[in-house]
Amino acid sequence: MIKSFSFSKSSKVIVELGMGDGRLLEKLAKCDGNIHSDYYIGIEIDKQQYEEANRRINLVNIGLLNGSFEDIVPIFPDDCFDLVIAVLPDPDFIDILKRQKWESFYKVVYSKLKNHGSFQLITELTDELLQPISNKVYYKWVEWLSTTFQSMGFILLTKEEGAPLDYSTRCIDQFRGDPERIRMITLTFGKSIMMNLNQDWLTSEHQL
């Protein structure tokens, strides 16, 4: 399955986790001027959405996979991805109460990034009673997300309220219609070669 993808080590590889109907991945690939060198991979567990994307998308620089990204991502070699995108992940992969379940997966994502690769997370906060989200609650949540991913080794590069303006998915478009009760955040994290070197040095020192 993975071996059938035709990208080289010099290719720029972009992966979307849970691509849905693939509209965002398709748009990103169409806007990419390096169609013969950059490669886009979409992973979707829902068979109906995967098949819809597979029927519609016929670009040579896109490969689609039907399955759980939790199972598929670990199959790829380390230091393989330039960018991993997660748009509004399921609560099982971002909820504060389920951190022990999903933290190990994002550590795998980190290991699959090339040095200086990046991970873009777009997620949302809602109130259980569907009340407006105050700034205090929102910023506290953003800080928790930032520090949680930094504790895994990621470096916080940028944070921006809302989803990127040029991004469109079914859920993003829906959530934009209720910005007071559904507050989104876009966090972009990086992987630093210097941090990896420091970790390797500390490991070797400990072994000595």
Asked, for residue 73, whether it belongs to a domain, the answer is yes
Residue 6 within a domain: no
Measure Cα distances from 160 to 88, 168, 199 in Å. 15, 16, 29
pLDDT tens-digit map of 58-86: 998 999 999 999 999 999 999 999 999 99
DSSP track, 10-73: TSEEEEEES-TTSHHHHHHHHH-S-TTTEEEEEEES-HHHHHHHHHH---TTEEEEES-HHHHG
Q: Give the separation between CA 82 and CA 14, rounded to whole angstroms.
A: 6
Domain that holds residue 150: 12-207
Q: What is the CATH number of the domain that holds 197?
A: 3.40.50.150
Number of domains in the chain: 1
* Residues 188, 150 contacting (CB under 8 angstroms): no
3-class DSSP assignment, residue 118: strand
Any domain includes 114 = yes
Burial status of residue 42 (CB atoms within 10 A of its CB: 0-12, 13-18, 19 or more): buried
Q: Find the Cα–Cα–Cα–Cα dihedral 17, 18, 23, 24, rounded to 10°.
A: -30
What whole-number distance in Å separates Cα of residue 180 and Cα of residue 197? 43
* Residue 194 domain-assigned (yes or no): yes
Q: How confident is the model at residue 32 (pLDDT cuts 50, 70, 90)?
A: confident
Q: Mean pLDDT over all residues of the chain?
A: 90
For residue 10, the model assigns a pLDDT of 63
Residue 3 inside a domain? The answer is no
Q: What is the mean pLDDT of residues 123-135?
A: 96
Q: 185: part of which helix (H) or strand (E)?
A: strand 182-190
**HSE of 41, CA atoms in CB hemisphere, 13 A:** 26
The reply to whether 30 falls in a domain is yes
Closest CA to 19 of 182, 171, 137: 171
Residue range 141-184, pLDDT digits in tens: 999 999 999 999 999 999 999 999 999 999 999 999 999 999 99
